[in-house]
Amino acid sequence: MTTALPRIQVVILNLIPIFFLFSSSYAQSKVYIVYMDHSAIPRAFSTHHSWFESTLSSISENSELPISSKLIHTYTNSIHGFSASLTPSELASLKNSPGYIHSTPDRPMELHTTHSPNFLGMSTSSGVWPASSYGEDVIIGVIDSGVWPESESFKDRGMSRVPLRWKGKCVTGQQFNTSLCNKKLIGARYFNNGVRANFPDAKITINSARDNEGHGTHTASIACGNFVEGASYFGYAAGTARGMAPRARLAVYKVLWENYIYSSDVIAAVDQAIKDGVDVLSMSLGIFAEEDKFYDEDPIALATFAAMEKGIFVSASAGNKGRLFHGTIYNGAPWLTTVAAGTVDREFKGALTLGNDTKTITFESLYPGEFSGHREQIVFLNKCKSLKKLKRLKGKVIVVCKDGKNTNLGTQVDIIKNGSTSVISGAIFLTNYDYKDYYDYSFAAGFIDDENDRKTVMDYISKNKNPTGVLEFRKTILGTATAPKVARYSSRGPFARSRNVLKPDVLAPGSEILASWTPLDKVGEVHSKPLFSNFKLVSGTSMAAPHVSGLAALIKSVHPDWSPAAIRSAIMTTANPLDNTGSPIKDDGNNDEPASPLAMGAGFIDPNKAIDPGLIYDAETEDYVKLLCSFNYTAKQMKIITKTNTSCNGIKPSSDLNYPSFIAYFPSDLEGSHRPKVVREFIRRVRNVGNEKASYRAEVSGMSGFNVKVEPSKLVFRRKNEMLSYKLSVEGPISVVEEIELLVHGSLSWVEESEILTSSAMTTAIARMELVILNLMPIFFLFFSSTYAQSKVYIVYMDHSVMPKAFSTHHNWFESTLSSISENSELPISSKLIHTYTNSIHGFSASLTPSELASLKNSPGYIHSTPDRPLELHTTHSTKFLGMSTTSGVWPASSYGEGVIIGVIDSGIWPESESFKDRGMSRVPLRWKGKCETGQHFNSSLCNKKLIGARFFNKGIVANFPEINITLNSARDDQGHGSHTASTAAGNFVENASYYGYAAGTARGMAPRARVAAYKVLWKNKVFASDVVAAVDQAIKDGVDVLSMSLGFFAAKDKFYEEDAIAVATFAAMEKGIFVSASAGNAGRLHGTINNGAPWLTTVGAGTVDREFEGALTLGNDTKQITFESLYAGNFSGLREPLVFLNKCKSLKKLKNIKGKVIVVCKDGKTTTLEDQIEVIKNGSTSVISGAIFVTNDEWKDYYDYSFAATFVDEKDNQKTVMDYISKNKNPTGILEFRKTILGRATAPKVARYSSRGPFMRSPSVLKPDILAPGSEILASWSPLNKIVEVHSKPLFSHFKIISGTSMAAPHVSGLAALIKTVHPDWSPAAIRSAIMTTANPLDNTGSPIKDAGNFDHPASPLEMGAGFIDPNKAIDPGLIYDAETEDYVKLLCSLNYTAKQMKIITKTNTSCNGIKPSSDLNYPSFIAYFPSDFEAPHPGPKVVREFQRRVRNVGKERSSYIAELSGMRGLKVKVEPMKLVFRRKNEMLSYKLSVEGPTNLEEEVVHGSLSWVEESGKHVVRSPIVATNMDPMNL
């Protein structure tokens, strides 16, 4: 990671003059953890804290800044020193201060162009650009995330003066002033009052129009970016970047803040844009139509209605919810132009050239890193399960990996990604898998999935002794791809709110679009180094919409008097329905079937034709009013939308808007004995904008099975701007479409001799669209003040004409109105009134309580209000499985851990949980010095005799992120993780606990009578070392016996322990006799990924248990029952219901013909995917669909989120059973049941695939992890503030949750340590760890070696499972123990060649290694021997001996004898001297030597076995794992 720092520093330094314009000192400050020599404290100071304050005061560069703002923490127990915010010069001065030892930076811990215009046929010599003067003087407003004003795309080269009509301005704000605007960027404003009101604690990082996210910069430059030569994304898409209207003006309106965007702010932006005088608005955001049934509830539709009335063209993105089903479209209001996304004919490639240009194979790639382009050796590693062969070679190589039965692409990618970059130049993967699921372009790689190309590679390698190749990237290929296609993500019509207007309108470039970006946001990482760029390739309908905005500006420049509808018509009627091969445009989201207008609208935009369309379909406000009246809108609703007293009385309603497309609905009637004919008629009027005299004839294409008639079939125009009308009728039977089809489509073209005017026509059998409203539960605000809890932000619509004469402005009137209804007279009205709207809507937005809202409804002028809404842009069974009983064994022997205090450093605690009640608890131990700290929604009364301490630490994270919003500033857990781990370790008995019926039983922790002290350090999934050190520091002082930590650093980031503040702090805990259990990490499958491997910690890996959660499907009258894995938490009937076989489940049409509840059955098909099927059923009618059965071979866990009742039948015999039953029964039925918990059937434990693996590179001589404990699907307490799942779009909350991770494993061992500590209070942390390890079980419940789920169920090695799976009952009586004290760890540190300074940091004493005999051979209950590979020597290489010295203490019988027994270690000679240990008294210590002899080149990379000391009486078996390996731990 250190290699990435220079790049990061450059970026930060470039930002300093802007970002910290007013505070150069603060700009340079960083937080450091400072280690001090406590013995050097001057006598003048009574405390170290006062000494540190004085020291900081003496070096401070800012005397006005209080020292308390610099000093973050003082540490006295875990480390000696403090943490502080320091500038570089202050740090330099500190290093010369008395007592200074070392400092380390505080660090976080781990928990949509250059080608579009070319493809569109746009040229500087002819066509739309020169005809429109490139959009000169047209003003485009972009409502998005702001702008990066320094971008070359927004320079004003070649621009004339700003139009005099422009009324906007550039608003000064943080890192933004008016000088940043120019003749291109003529306006910049920002709006966030709505976000602040909805989220009062929201942190605004850059409070100005400056774009820190990139999205707004990207969309703005697509619409109207100036010409930028030499633009590219690291060499890809290289050329001259330019927007669609490169001479148009830009005004930006920032409404997106840290991914929060509220409609109140967007309305304010539209409101201001209208006032400023924009000509075009570009909006790549929106509200999904399902959430509103009427336009008066859609504030964006309302605001843009006003824009339309002012002649402003609004282009809006269709949304990215496409592919799966119809009706997913956003921004479908008929006065908007709704834009779908399409691909272009550009591909980005890499290439592999084999040998001496024998063959070149290309592959898809956007790898941005450096590459040599030289011929290099090819090394075939087959399945790429090991890099062993790679280490034999010198210089750079290209690795080739091939699919295999015992490996997967994800594993291969991880292995190569983590390989040595000094050896691996690149990698080629020969695979059938979709690599995009695994590859993030972080290293040079090519994925070859074409069968012929794979064969070419393998043939070349097999026929050449020394194969070579050249790997190249950054190739941009034009014209080879079939394009455009409808992008798979692009949302589909129809639009639910006005489904008689066909949406989307048009297709525009949206996939892999190059445009400007903000340099604040990294664009990728290569070899862990962040990459930044001024341009980025992005995909989405967000990128498509600004293409149309730019095109509209060009048309507006040529035809300044055209209405928004006329411009839209010109774009639509000239759009191309064909791709670059002359075939119909295909739908990438529908297996490349021809796209329908519901996916692509009228077709792909054709800018050169759009400026001269011949005829146009126009529409004015009156037309939209008639449409709204056809919806039966009330006078109130009409007033909200039109802002006038318009009502539908006297108006002839018409749903037939004068639109350049048609959609006809034919209701299904499958029960009818005949199919009557139905006729749908449309009236249209067109205006001649072409030649003075022109004739057009009608041509209809497509529409198979329908009679389409146009009257008249010829239109003769005698003058320009003349308007003529025609009627189009579509006649067909009800339900004439085939059962598997949803729609039929075609087109009407008005053909003149020189031009074609086309309108899309379509018929569909869709009868009804389901609307879903998302309800958010109020539990999130449970602990806020009652007034604030009830306050919500509303958008209020007012009648401007009712304003009393006493008020000069509507703003004053609204303030007075709010003042009259306010419940809190002390609260300034300015804090309630968020925005005043005068142009887009009439009214305001405000924060109101329910009673205030009720009063407002009785105020003069009130019309309507709607809530402001966002817009889119680690157990009940563990203890049983471990053999723990209330009648015998560890629990009664230890009094359930009574009196032992477990400190849990995590996300806090939910004190009201039943797991933390003090039923049955005795008084708090007198030695306890801790307390329960009062904080937000937490007071000392919440503690009791179980929960005896609760503290919180966040000064470090606040110092690192000064703008972070701390939502619950107390020890209260709002995330759940801390409550889960604490209850796993020491939760009290809770009867009838379950996760919605799963894992039902009595919940309890490992040590149910132990005390809990919670130390909260996790805030919004962020945690900093300075806070964790402070927590450890305080826990030592408070007097905890055990510490449980489910967090940590990845060891690869630090080479030495003094750079790991957590390791240093826990060293102090060890010295105080505190046992520390820590999670191994969740970066599993690869070796060397372990966290928390310091030898004084107990490092815990995660294993599975023998519990499975299932559902069951019973076919017919109990003919056959099939079980399946499930954690579905919703309700189910458990009744026999009809089975409806829908085959590929592409349509729910047949379902609607059945009454009552049904169970849908879906089967794999070539033209559909499991993901498609799941989404279709998920969004089907819950009143009809009781559940679903998917007969599939796909991995369902990648797609299913337990949001509806489903079973996945993937076993072949069961698939046959289901299909046979359905085919043989006329009326098949079934029963679907859930919430079944099955015990004892699964083979367990296994090492969980996510659990991190050893060795630990900082001290590789100590085998890690130490132990395996339950970590998968563990039930424990949870915070009810954090939802656990959604079922049918409804969030579910629970006091218990089932989760997985090493975070769940570590507290099991913490609880076990507490039990052992109760029985053996004088045992050291090392002795307790020894007892746990030497009694662990290496076998599963079948008596076979524990398997590794992350390695295809092969037997696990100690590098995955440590000594084995914990056995609590045996651990309290281990027979012998391996002990270690501080002196032993000091010898180990000295063996690492630590300096006196490093030793002082860790030990906090003047200990040096002078006079100490260093030893890497720690007295540890495990062994690991490294055999360096010598591939130049004859196989198997010379013999090497590794020796270990150990001492064991007898904690069993007074007199006892133990015999050494060895197992495993194939190919190696293991010797123990002596072979027998005879103890004559208790606590006697004896020593032995173990030697491992073998060749340098082992038969396998990892060989393992064990040494067991077996007591002659048979009572005790003291087992230690042994590992021999060829791995080099420093090169993992």
Among 686, 688, 684, CA closest to 721: 688
d(CA 1504, CA 1492): 11
Q: For tokens 């011929």, what's the residue?
A: 375
DSSP, collapsed to helix, strand or coil, labels residue 975 as coil
d(CA 558, CA 128): 9
**CA 1105 vs CA 119, 144, 1525: distances in Å:** 58, 49, 29
The residue type of 842 is H
d(CA 1355, CA 1521): 14
Dig out the tokens for 1220 from the structure.
């046979």
- Contact predicate 1382/1277, CB 8 Å: no
Q: For tokens 């379509």, what's the residue?
A: 762
| 874 given a catalytic annotation | no
Catalytic residue, candidates 279, 906, 974, 1060: 906
| 1320 given a catalytic annotation | no
The residue type of 1196 is W
Dig out the tokens for 659 from the structure.
């639109």
Buried b (16+ CB within 10 A) or exposed e, 1319-1357: bbeebbbbbbbbbbbbbbbbebbeeebbbbbbbeeeebb
| 704 given a catalytic annotation | no
Catalytic residue, candidates 542, 760, 840, 1277: 542
Buried b (16+ CB within 10 A) or exposed e, 1204-1239: bbbbbbbeeebbebbeebbeeeeebbbbbbbbebee
Residue 345 DSSP one-character state = S
d(CA 302, CA 306): 7
- The DSSP H or E segment spanning 712 is none
d(CA 1436, CA 1434): 6
CB atoms within 10 A of CB 1373: 17
Q: Is 316 exposed, middle or buried (0-12, 13-18, 19+ CB in 10 A)?
A: buried
DSSP, collapsed to helix, strand or coil, labels residue 761 as strand
Catalytic residue, candidates 80, 745, 835, 977: 977
Q: Which residues, in sequence order, are CB contacts of 821 under 8 Å at separation 6+?
A: 852, 855, 856, 859
d(CA 1524, CA 1490): 13
Catalytic residue, candidates 29, 365, 1303, 1520: 1303
DSSP, collapsed to helix, strand or coil, labels residue 1370 as helix
| Residue 385 backbone zone (phi > 0: left; psi -120 to 50: alpha; other: beta) | alpha
Catalytic residue, candidates 215, 218, 1087, 1504: 215
Among 1277, 1332, 1256, CA closest to 1075: 1332
d(CA 584, CA 591): 14
| 977 given a catalytic annotation | yes
Dig out the tokens for 798 from the structure.
């007012």
DSSP track, 1391-1406: HTT--HHHHHHHHSS-
Q: Is 844 exposed, middle or buried (0-12, 13-18, 19+ CB in 10 A)?
A: buried
| 48 given a catalytic annotation | no
Percent of the chain as helix, strand, coil, to the nearest 5? 25, 30, 45
Long-range pairs of 625-631 with CB within 8 A, sequence gap ≥ 24: 625/651, 626/651, 626/652, 626/653, 626/654, 626/657, 627/334, 627/498, 627/501, 627/653, 627/654, 627/655, 627/657, 628/295, 629/653, 629/654, 630/654, 630/655, 631/294, 631/498, 631/655
| 126 given a catalytic annotation | no
Catalytic residue, candidates 106, 137, 144, 1172: 144
Question: Which regions of 712-790 does DSSP assign to beta strands (E)?
Answer: 714-717, 723-733, 743-751, 756-764
Instruction: Give the residues across from 1345 on adjacent strands.
Output: 1339
- Contact predicate 249/855, CB 8 Å: no
| Residues annotated as catalytic (active site), given as ranges | 144, 215, 542, 906, 977, 1303
